[in-house]
Structure 1
Amino acid sequence: MKYLYQLFLAFNSTWLIVVVFLVKEKYSFNFLNDCSIYYSWILFVLAPIILTALSFLVAIKLPKDSLKSSSVKEIELANNNFLPTYLGYFFVSLGVNDVPTLIVVFLIVYVFTFLSQTLYFNPIFLLFGYHFYFIKTSGNVKIFLITRKQLKTPGEIGFEKLRRINNYTFIDL
């Protein structure tokens, strides 16, 4: 299950490349015949939002873990660290001129995102109220934590309902 979830997270994290391309190229769904192209664009944008919401339901099946408040040594907000990466994705998708090139670019980015398996940053998580943090534990291990909690002071709060995505990435449900 963990492997499938990692594939799913990598897909959700990179799918916005395709959304930007489809909007740029003014693609629309054929079944919306006389309707505005904007309805198609709304569906393009809603698809990754719905898939991300689904990822929270799937996360329940991941292995359980916890992190005691006494073992949190440092907290660093990571929300803004990934903005350059996503801006890069958007600029790349704006520069792609045809579907075969889009497929190749998407597959390359997807494979590298999946193989890195260190961070699964998905900006749509922000829409659901989640934040991203780097947490340094008392054992000097730096982990990536996805949580709705606002973290400010180390040792202030613990995490009893973590789900382990991989050895260094956790989501707090």
Structure 2
Amino acid sequence: MNFTFKLFLTFNSTSTMLIVYLIKERYYLLFLEKFPVWISYIIFLLIPLLLTIISLWMKRFLSRDDINCELLNVEEANNVFLPSYLGYFFVALGVESTETIMFVYFIVFIFTYLSQTLYYNPLFLLFGYKFYYIMTINNVKLFIISKKEINTTKGIKFPRLRRINNTTFIDEEE
């Protein structure tokens, strides 16, 4: 299940590149050819949204974990990924052919999948999740996806985490 969950996270994290390209090239869904093209664009946008909902549902099948030790540092990571994400947009806008975007997307998808912390999905923000880097007392830096608002390291515990990989976790607490 972890493999499938990571595939969903990777696609959700990178799919906007494809959507921007499809919109730039004015692609539309053939079964909607009699409707305005923006209807297709909305459907393109709904696909990663639906897959994000599915991945949030799938998190229950990941292994359980917790972090109950003292934390040295907490750093909000919501804005850390913005340059990378904007890079996806600029690549999609600059690519001239469908073959090229597919090749570039494949490379980005593989690198994102193989990375340990690039499961940043901006659609999680719509569901109230925030992204944090935390440093444990053992000097281990972890990436946490949580709905908690964290402003201090004092008393912060994560008793209900799901492990995505060795350095990335998603919090189940509301």
Shift in Å, 1:33: 2.6
Deviation string, structure 1 residues 40-95 (Cα, Å, up to 9, x no partner)? 00001111111111110111100000111x42221000000011001111000001
Say whether 1:155 aligns with 2:128. Answer: no
Shift in Å, 1:6: 1.3
Partner of 1:146, secondary structure, is strand
Say whether 1:165 aligns with 2:169. Answer: no
**What is the match of residue 38 of structure 1?**
38
Task: Name stretches of at least 5 consecutive residues in structure 1 with no aligned partner.
Answer: none
Deviation string, structure 1 residues 22-51 (Cα, Å, up to 9, x no partner)? 011111111113111010000011111111
Give aligned-pair identity as a percent.
Answer: 49
Partner of 2:18, secondary structure, is helix
Q: Distance in 2 between matches of 1:33 and 1:10?
A: 30
Task: Name stretches of at least 5 consecutive residues in structure 2 with no aligned partner.
Answer: none
The amino acid that maps onto 2:169 is F
Deviation string, structure 1 residues 120-142 (Cα, Å, up to 9, x no partner)? 11111111111000000111111
Normalized against structure 1, the TM-score is what? 0.96
Partner of 1:15, secondary structure, is helix
**What is the match of residue 66 of structure 1?**
66
Q: Distance in 1 between matches of 2:132 and 2:3?
A: 22
Partner of 2:156, secondary structure, is coil
Normalized against structure 2, the TM-score is what? 0.95
Q: Distance in 1 between matches of 2:116 and 2:52?
A: 17
Q: Distance in 1 between matches of 2:90 and 2:118?
A: 21
Shift in Å, 1:17: 0.5
Say whether 1:137 aligns with 2:140. Answer: no
Q: How do residues 87-102 of structure 1 correspond to structure 2 at under 5 angstroms?
A: 87-102=86-101
Q: Distance in 2 between matches of 1:8 and 1:47?
A: 12
**What is the match of residue 79 of structure 1?**
78
Q: Distance in 2 between matches of 1:116 and 1:133?
A: 17
Q: Distance in 1 between matches of 2:114 and 2:36?
A: 39
**What is the match of residue 20 of structure 1?**
20
8 Å CA contact retained: 1:119, 1:144: no
Partner of 2:58, secondary structure, is helix
Shift in Å, 1:7: 1.8
Partner of 1:12, secondary structure, is helix
Shift in Å, 1:159: 1.3
Say whether 1:52 aligns with 2:66. Answer: no
The amino acid that maps onto 2:76 is L
Say whether 1:126 aligns with 2:129. Answer: no
